[in-house]
Amino acid sequence: MTRTLAVCFAHPDDEAYATFGSVALHRADPDFRVVALHATDGAAGEVAPGVDVGPAGLGALRREEDERAWRAVGCVPARHDWLGLPDGAVEQMPFDDLVDCVACFLDEERPDVVVTFGPDGVTGHPDHITVGAATDAAFHRVRRDGGGGLRRLLHGAIRQSWFERHQAWRAAHGYPLWEPTRLYHLRGTPDELVGVDVRTTEVLPQLVAGLLEHRSQGHVLLPAGVEDGSFLRSRSRETHVLAWPPRQPDEPCLTDIFEGLD
């Protein structure tokens, strides 16, 4: 039985943080497939030092980087849709139209698991928040219409306990702290809300190889700690909020995005 994962995000590289560990863990499974949807190509983003590309070429470069990243992880999406919305202005698109686009994608693919952003967008980025909200609405519309798939909706999240340890590490090494109330700063999610906690240690080489392909975003993707190994340790777990079906308060964390769906 084919198990399909759909990743719905705003920018190329968003899925690298949230899903590459799970994708790498399942990449050799002949019954596994992944489909991807991006709202934008990230054309308005900053460019890492040492990457020679003009503003007009950044979007195309980031699409290429995203394709190379998937290959490095070892699993190329069976379908990859780019909505072509303006980077940084996704919220200006009529929301219902965005929901329609995502719903069409989900209805045609009928994935078992959908991963997107939660209400905090992890960094508060308006594009993240808008795409996450539209994906949630599309997921429930398609699910209520009946048919197969749409069995689990996940929101990528940073566990609060890890976030606090990371903050302490940054303080001890002289790096500025994240300010969760500020735009583009990381936010933690209360531990009790995390419903999926995947150990990714065994696939760190593939996960990191995928991250490294996003060279134009190296200033963001490779934070303080890459030199001494703390960055790798930070990627040894992949955590999500179980947005649907509702998680019971005493229910243990799932250890795989597909756990319990067979």
- Tens of pLDDT, residues 133-158: 999 999 999 999 988 999 999 999 99
Q: How many CB atoms lie within 10 A of CB 180?
A: 16
Q: How far is CA 3 from CA 16, 35, 96, in A?
A: 20, 11, 29
Lowest mean pLDDT among 61-75, 137-151, 166-180: 166-180
pLDDT tens per residue across span 182-240? 999 999 999 999 999 999 999 999 998 998 899 898 777 555 444 445 555 667 899 99
Q: Which CATH number fits domain 3-159+188-244: 3.10.20.30, 1.10.1750.10, 3.40.50.10320, 2.40.50.220?
A: 3.40.50.10320
Q: By the 8 A CB rule, do 35 and 4 touch?
A: yes
- C-alpha closest to that of 109 among 261, 2, 258, 243: 2
